[in-house]
């Protein structure tokens, strides 16, 4: 088995040519080589390999056929790769021994395998030396094809052949500045499956996290952080397309990463952690208005605008808030198209992988003990402080909601460590209570945001529209006000229902 340590980037087509003879301070390049690569990816009709985090391809490079089995990047920085030479372009599962595919490599699977998509690229490989490291820069131009549909490929890969990961990230930053390269952890196979699904851009949800009990807390943090990183960064194209769910999922991925930093704060060290938190907060703030306005319009403004009682007022505020939403979506798009965002991706991934990020003393101890103690402590604190919600201010209730949300994310992170049926039932019950608390208090928090939006809109209204807009806003807020007490009652009940772990 070979282990790949690589970074993949998307690069504007007009910038790819300049990288054939890269002039990057601190590096030396050797003579480039060129090859034509045609790769066919195989899977079942229901994409069984993809669901198991595997890919199977056969590549023809002019000299013969090579079958490659890869374990998907997922929550690991390095990827496993198993290659064998073949006599033709048909998969040979007898050569899957000692690979992750071996466990399912049956005759039945072989009969079900079929080509899913094909990639055809012209690859230019430039050997680079930076300090004591050897890095291969691969420049790929071509296309992915599924039936009559195709999508262009324009990307570069940096593969660390030997040396230090730090040099890999140094080179990555230089390429971002020189060519606007954007880090993209998704592989060619992931983009191929996206095209095979006839979707322009997938909206990516959180992936299931599996932690082994023998991991240290520091190792577990990296698994969780990588997963959250992939979650938010994989939704950048959906944000660019103005897809509301893409903005939501990018925000969820950011929250999961920020929550992981909070949960593991005692073992994270150095000023770089504060810098990482600041960068993540910046991106979250750039996305927040778009999500707030989208929810307000869909859940409150649009239903109210159909109410005969509101007449023109409902139409006026719907038009105004729709314009505000368009501006907020443009702001989110500008953020993910910026050099700051591209730099953030490199900085955050390096911070996750850096040895200095985790306190070296004991690496936080075994993750199973760490997780149990953390969940018990946080649930106990939530139960103690969350039973007097009716006496709290909106800001205080918001803090309770954040505590509940962090515990719910923690359960998602640590679920695989609790393997018995009793533990699984207990966690499921806790998660259900936490979701109801989060939903109820989330609605209350939305009310606060909606009030701010409505008041701001009323104050900025042209004189001739003041009354109609103010009246319509008042009706919307009045309806929300009626829901406050029932929501507090629900949240209080669910807090009391939380048990022990």
Sequence spans of domains, the chain:
2-199, 214-291+304-364, 366-501
Is pLDDT at 336 greater than 50 in this prediction? yes
Give tens-digit pLDDT for 270-281. Answer: 789 999 999 999
Q: Over 80: is that where the pLDDT of 231 sits?
A: yes
Q: Which residue has the tokens 């690991």?
A: 76
Q: pTM score, two decimals?
A: 0.86
3-class SS of residue 358: strand
Distance of CA 160 to the CA centre of its chain: 24
The yes or no reply on domain 2-199 and CATH 2.40.37.10 is no
Mean pLDDT of the chain: 86
pLDDT for residue 116: 96
Contacts 24+ apart (CB under 8 A), 370-377: 370/217, 370/220, 371/220, 371/410, 371/413, 371/414, 371/417, 372/501, 374/263, 374/410, 375/407, 375/410, 375/411, 375/414, 375/501, 376/500, 376/501
Residue 105 token pair: 């490599």
Confidence band for 14, pLDDT divided at 50, 70 and 90: confident
Cα separation, 387 vs 489, whole angstroms: 10
**Which pLDDT band, with edges at 50, 70 and 90, does 200 fall under?**
low
Q: Determine the topology of domain 214-291+304-364 in CATH.
A: 1.20.120
**Phi and psi torsions of 499, nearest 5°:** -100, -165
Average pLDDT of span 140-150? 94
How high is the pLDDT of residue 471? 47
Alpha-carbon span 174 to 41, nearest angstrom: 32
CB 475 within 8 A of CB 442: no
Question: What is the pLDDT at residue 388?
Answer: 87
Residue with token string 């730099």: 343
- With left for phi above 0 and alpha for psi between -120 and 50, is residue 26 left, alpha or beta? left
Q: Characterize the bridge pairing of strands 133-146 and 114-130.
A: antiparallel
Q: Indicate the pLDDT class of residue 46, thresholds 50, 70 and 90.
A: very high
Q: Do domains 2-199 and 214-291+304-364 have the same CATH topology?
A: no
Residue 493 contacts by C-beta under 8 Å, 6 or more apart in sequence? none
Cα(197)–Cα(200) distance, integer angstroms = 9
Task: Examine the pLDDT at 121 and tell me if it is beyond 90.
Answer: yes
Answer with the residue of higher pLDDT: 485 or 266: 266
């Amino acid at each position: 088995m070979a282990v790949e340590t690589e970074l993949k980037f998307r690069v504007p087509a007009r910038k790819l040519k300049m990288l054939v003879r890269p002039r990057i301070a601190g590096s030396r390049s050797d003579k480039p080589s060129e090859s034509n690569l045609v790769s066919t990816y195989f899977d079942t009709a229901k994409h069984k390999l993809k669901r198991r985090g595997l890919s199977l391809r056969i590549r023809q490079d002019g000299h013969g056929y090579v079958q490659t089995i890869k374990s998907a990047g997922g929550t690991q920085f390095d990827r496993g790769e198993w290659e064998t030479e073949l006599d033709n372009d048909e998969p040979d599962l007898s050569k899957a021994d000692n690979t992750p595919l071996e466990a399912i490599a049956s005759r039945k699977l072989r009969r079900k395998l079929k080509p899913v998509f094909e990639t055809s690229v012209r690859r230019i490989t430039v050997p680079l030396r930076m300090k004591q490291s050897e890095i291969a820069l691969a420049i790929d131009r071509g296309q992915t094809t599924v039936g009559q549909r195709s999508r262009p490929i324009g990307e570069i890969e940096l593969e660390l052949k030997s040396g230090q990961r730090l040099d890999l990230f140094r080179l990555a930053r230089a390429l971002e500045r020189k060519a606007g390269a954007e880090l993209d952890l998704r592989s060619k196979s992931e983009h191929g499956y996206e095209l095979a699904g006839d979707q322009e851009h997938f909206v990516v949800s959180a992936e299931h996290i599996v932690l082994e009990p023998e991991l240290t807390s520091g190792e577990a943090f990296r698994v969780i952080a990588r997963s959250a990183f992939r979650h938010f960064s994989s939704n950048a194209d959906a944000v660019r397309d103005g897809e509301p769910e893409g903005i939501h999922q990018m925000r969820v991925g950011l929250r999961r990463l920020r929550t992981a930093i909070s949960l593991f704060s005692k073992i994270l060290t150095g000023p770089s952690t504060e810098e990482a938190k600041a960068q993540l907060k910046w991106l979250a703030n750039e996305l927040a208005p778009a999500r707030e306005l989208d929810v307000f319009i869909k859940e409150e403004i649009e239903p109210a605008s159909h109410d005969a009682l509101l007449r023109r007022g409902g139409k006026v505020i719907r038009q105004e808030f729709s314009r505000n939403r368009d501006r907020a979506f443009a702001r989110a798009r500008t953020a993910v198209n910026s050099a700051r965002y591209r730099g953030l991706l490199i900085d955050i991934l390096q911070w996750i992988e850096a040895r200095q990020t985790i306190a070296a003393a004991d690496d936080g101890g075994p993750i199973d003990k760490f997780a149990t103690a953390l969940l018990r402590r946080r649930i106990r604190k939530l139960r103690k402080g969350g039973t007097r919600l009716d006496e709290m201010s909106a800001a205080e209730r918001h803090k309770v909601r954040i505590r509940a949300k962090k515990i719910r994310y923690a359960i998602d992170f640590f679920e695989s460590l609790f393997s018995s049926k009793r533990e699984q039932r207990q966690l499921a019950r806790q998660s259900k209570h936490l979701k109801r608390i989060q939903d109820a208090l989330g609605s209350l928090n939305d009310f606060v945001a909606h009030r701010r939006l409505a008041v701001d809109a009323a104050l900025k209204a042209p004189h001739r529209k003041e009354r109609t807009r103010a009246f319509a806003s008042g009706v919307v807020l009045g309806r929300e006000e009626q829901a406050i007490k029932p929501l507090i009652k629900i949240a209080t009940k669910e807090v009391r229902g939380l048990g022990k772990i």
